Amino acid sequence: LERRIKHERSARLISFNQQEKTKKRMQALNTVELLKAASKNLGIGPHYTMDIAEKLYIKGYISYPRTESSAYPSSFDFNAILNQFKDNSVWGDYAKNLLAEGIYSNKAGHDAGDHPPITPMKSIDENNISSDEWKIYSYVTKCFLASISPNCK
The total of other beta-carbon atoms located within 10 Å of residue 100's CB is 7
**Which residue is catalytic, options 48, 64, 72, 104?**
64
pLDDT band of residue 147 (cuts 50, 70, 90) is very high
pLDDT band of residue 140 (cuts 50, 70, 90) is very high
Distance CA 98, CA 74 (A): 18
Does residue 139 have an active-site annotation? no
- The answer to whether the CB of 70 falls within 8 A of the CB of 109 is yes
The yes-or-no verdict on residue 31 having pLDDT over 90 is yes
Half-sphere exposure of 115 (CA within 13 A, CB side): 14
pLDDT band of residue 90 (cuts 50, 70, 90) is very high
The yes-or-no verdict on residue 30 having pLDDT over 90 is yes
Task: Tell me the pLDDT tens digit for each residue of 104-137.
Answer: 877 778 888 889 999 999 999 999 899 999 999 9
**Average of per-residue pLDDT values in the chain:** 92
pLDDT at site 114: 83
The percentage of residues in the chain with a pLDDT greater than 90, rounded to a whole number, is 70
Bridge partner residues of 62 (DSSP): 120
Average pLDDT over residues 9-21: 84
The yes-or-no verdict on residue 22 having pLDDT over 90 is no
